[in-house]
């Protein structure tokens, strides 16, 4: 990392050459991934990187440079180029004195040993193979990521945050004649090897294998408008995509969100209270501080159907006239930060999951949403599911394949009819303008009264 002396020179240069705010984001990162397929020899990938991102603001304008070195002359050459059109004689700004360093670490994270990871992955493979007779391939991976960042800015911030993540991936492939099916799970935490003590990884592997086998003879998915029940856990990706992106400041500031100008109005069913919380202990999307050095917090986005706020970073906050919410994120030092989700989830309600199923004459039960995308301007989304079942006359009758869920955020939010008592979280990644970031998405079991389903039933 760069010295404090050089950091102060950079900040001084920024505020004496047209900037009214500047920050330095430094990053050191190590990465490892161990993959085991069936009983083959494991493959091990490791990597590391480090670099520095420097951002200067002037009103609602910004300049950003990224370097993977600490060459002082080269850094100032880049800054001079970036700020040349700001050197217009504007009064120089004063900056605050740097505070004493504040250091955060991932609490309770257990150190890892490669041999121990491999042993645990072999147990996952064996458990999955023994659980279902048609499993032809079990692939397991353990991914560990340790990122240390330091934030220094002209407001005196001098904060360091260690962010450790560990995730177990399990993918099972079943085959029967020409039919094949896959199932996947990927539990993860902010932490280390304690992950394997927090989950029953053997049962997780068994469940994944049985799910793949159950999907072998899935029927074509029906199409049209119908009720949809989405299981607890990563089904929360529905709300992440359907409205979360539209509630990020980059969309709201440009009035490019379907919810622009609607804070304080009802946009959803009274059953909907949606929260984004970067402080969840051990949460996959949790951080001690955001990527602008601001402590993360619990942000209520929708409360009983009323839009309460949005996720705000420093730059777009200036455009909106709103304070930052501890939501600025970036994949690494190469990206400038923008407001992004952390752990986004629907609060539980009072409805039983069984009652939801019994209430449906014909519809779908979605256990897992695989991926999705949204246009924040229109709110239109598409979701792809990989564990979906047909409901007929109040009973789950069979698995179906190739189901897609189609709609708009404003429509789906108002059609939330029942919300369960069984909240759970899932883990994933979100890809947007500031790169790929860790996110948690969760919900209890939820019934959508009606939505458009795409499938392959003729």
Q: How confident is the model at residue 181, as a pLDDT?
A: 93
Quick one: which of 260, 228, 229 has its CA closest to 243? 260
pLDDT at residue number 168: 97
Q: How far is CA 137 from the centre of its chain?
A: 28
What are the backbone angles phi and psi of residue 113, rounded to the nearest 5°?
-125, 130
Q: How many angstroms separate the most distant Cα atoms in the chain?
A: 76
**CA–CA separation, 257 and 52 (whole Å):** 32
Are the beta carbons of 366 and 228 closer than 8 angstroms? yes
* Other residues' Cβ atoms within 10 Å of the Cβ of residue 108: 11
Distance between CA atoms of 33 and 141, rounded to whole angstroms? Answer: 7
Task: Identify the pLDDT of residue 112.
Answer: 73
Contacts with 297 (C-beta within 8 Å, 6 or more apart), sequence order: 277, 278, 279, 325, 326
Give me the pLDDT at residue 292, please.
98
Please determine, for residue 367, whether its predicted confidence score (pLDDT) is greater than 80. Answer: yes
Per-residue model confidence as pLDDT tens digits over 45-97 = 999 999 999 999 999 999 999 999 999 999 999 999 999 998 765 556 677 77
* Structure-block tokens of residue 211: 């799910």
- Mean pLDDT, rounded, for 96-119: 80
Question: pLDDT tens, 297-345?
Answer: 999 999 999 999 999 999 999 999 999 999 999 999 999 999 999 999 9
Instruction: Check pLDDT > 60 for residue 392.
Output: yes
Of the CA atoms within 13 Å of residue 10, those in its CB half-sphere come to: 32
Predicted local distance difference test score (pLDDT) of residue 91: 59
* pLDDT tens string 269-299: 999 999 999 999 999 999 999 999 999 999 9
Point out which residues pair with 381 in neighbouring strands: 374, 407
User: Given pLDDT bands bounded at 50, 70 and 90, which one contains residue 207?
Assistant: very high
What is the mean pLDDT of the segment spanning 203-223?
94
Task: Please identify which residue in the block is written with the tokens 């119908």.
Answer: 226
Q: What is the pLDDT of residues 165-178, one digit of tens each?
A: 999 999 999 999 98
Supply the pLDDT for residue 377: 76
pTM above 0.95, yes or no: no
| pLDDT of 98 | 76
The answer for residues whose C-beta is within 8 angstroms of residue 411's C-beta and 6 or more apart is: 451
Give me the half-sphere count of Cα atoms (radius 13 Å) on the Cβ side of residue 298.
11
Q: What is the pLDDT of residue 89?
A: 52
Q: Average pLDDT for residues 6-17, to the nearest whole number? A: 95
Q: Are 223 and 454 in contact (CB under 8 A)?
A: yes
pLDDT tens per residue across span 137-151: 999 999 999 999 999
Q: Tens of pLDDT along 178-192?
A: 899 999 999 999 999
H or E segment and range at residue 178? none
Q: What domains appear along the chain, each with residue ranges and CATH number? A: 4-34+41-104 (3.30.2290.10), 114-147+163-216 (3.30.160), 220-454 (no CATH)
Token digits of residue 277: 């919380």
SS3 of 356, please? helix
Cα–Cα dist 50/33, whole Å: 18
pLDDT tens for 371-388 read: 777 787 788 888 889 889
Instruction: Provide the pLDDT for residue 64.
Output: 98
Residue 109 has what pLDDT? 66
Find, among 250, 186, 255, 257, the residue nearest to 33 by Cα: 186
Residue 351 in contact with residue 420, Cβ under 8 Å? Answer: yes
């Amino acid at each position: 990392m760069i010295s404090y002396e050089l950091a102060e020179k950079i900040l001084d240069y920024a505020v004496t050459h047209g900037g009214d705010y500047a920050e330095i984001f430094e990053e050191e990162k190590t990465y490892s991934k161990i993959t085991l397929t069936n009983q083959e020899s494991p493959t091990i990938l490791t990597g590391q990187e480090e670099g520095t991102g420097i951002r200067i603001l002037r009103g609602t304008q910004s300049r950003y440079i990224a370097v993977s070195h600490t060459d002082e002359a080269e850094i100032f050459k880049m800054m001079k180029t970036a700020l040349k059109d700001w050197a217009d004689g504007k009064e120089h700004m004063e900056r605050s004195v740097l505070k004493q360093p504040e250091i955060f670490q991932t609490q309770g994270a257990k150190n890892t040993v490669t041999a121990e990871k491999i042993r645990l992955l072999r147990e996952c493979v064996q458990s999955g193979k023994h659980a279902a007779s048609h499993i032809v391939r079990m692939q397991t991976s353990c991914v560990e990521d340790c990122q240390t960042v330091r934030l220094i800015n002209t407001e005196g911030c001098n904060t360091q945050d260690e962010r450790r993540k560990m995730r177990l991936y399990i993918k099972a492939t079943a085959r029967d004649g020409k039919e094949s099916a896959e199932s996947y799970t990927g539990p993860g935490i902010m932490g280390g090897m304690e992950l394997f003590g927090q989950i029953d990884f053997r049962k997780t592997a068994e469940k994944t294998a049985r799910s793949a086998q159950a999907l072998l003879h899935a029927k074509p998915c029906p199409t049209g408008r119908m009720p949809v029940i989405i299981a607890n856990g990563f089904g929360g990706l529905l709300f992440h995509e359907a409205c979360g992106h539209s509630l990020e400041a980059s969309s709201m500031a440009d009035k490019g969100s379907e919810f622009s100008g609607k804070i304080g109005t009802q946009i959803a069913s009274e059953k909907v209270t949606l929260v984004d919380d970067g402080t969840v202990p051990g949460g996959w999307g949790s951080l001690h501080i955001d990527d602008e050095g601001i402590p993360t917090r619990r942000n209520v986005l929708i409360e009983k159907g009323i839009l309460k706020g949005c996720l705000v970073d420093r730059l777009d906050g200036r455009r909106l006239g709103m304070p930052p919410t501890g939501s600025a994120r970036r994949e690494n030092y190469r990206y400038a930060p923008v407001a992004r989700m952390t752990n986004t989830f629907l609060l539980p309600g009072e409805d039983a999951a069984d009652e939801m199923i019994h209430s449906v004459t014909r519809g779908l039960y979605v256990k897992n949403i695989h991926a999705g995308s949204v246009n924040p301007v229109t709110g239109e989304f598409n979701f792809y599911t990989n564990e979906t079942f047909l409901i007929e006359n109040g009973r789950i009758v069979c698995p179906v394949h190739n189901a897609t869920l189609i709609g708009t955020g404003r429509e789906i939010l108002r059609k939330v009819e029942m919300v369960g008592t069984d909240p759970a979280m899932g883990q994933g990644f979100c890809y947007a303008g500031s790169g790929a970031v860790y996110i948690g998405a969760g919900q209890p079991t939820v019934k959508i009264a009606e939505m458009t389903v795409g499938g392959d039933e003729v």
